[in-house]
Chain A
Amino acid sequence: MSDSAQIVIDRVSHLYRPPRGREVLALEDVSLRVTSREFVALLGPSGCGKSTLLYLIGGFFPTEIGSILIDGQPVGGPGPDRGIVFQHFALFPWKTVRGNILYGLERQGMERGEREKRVQDFIELVGLAGFEDSYPSQLSGGMKQRTAIARTLAIDPKILLMDEPFGALDAQTRHLMQSELLSIWQRTPKTVIFVTHDVQEAVYLADRVAVMSARPGRIKTIVDTKFDKNDPNIFKAKAFVDKVDEIWNLVRVEAIKAQETRPS
Chain B
Amino acid sequence: MTALADVVAFACLLAGAFLCLTAGLGLVRFPDVLSRMHAGTKPQVVGVLLVMVGAAIRLGGWSNAWMLLLVAAFQLLTAPVSAHLISRVAYRRRHVRRDLLLVDEFRGAGHQDDGYRGDEPGDAPPEDPGSHPGG
Partners in one complex: no
| A interface residue numbers (CB < 8 A to B) | none
| B interface residue numbers (CB < 8 A to A) | none
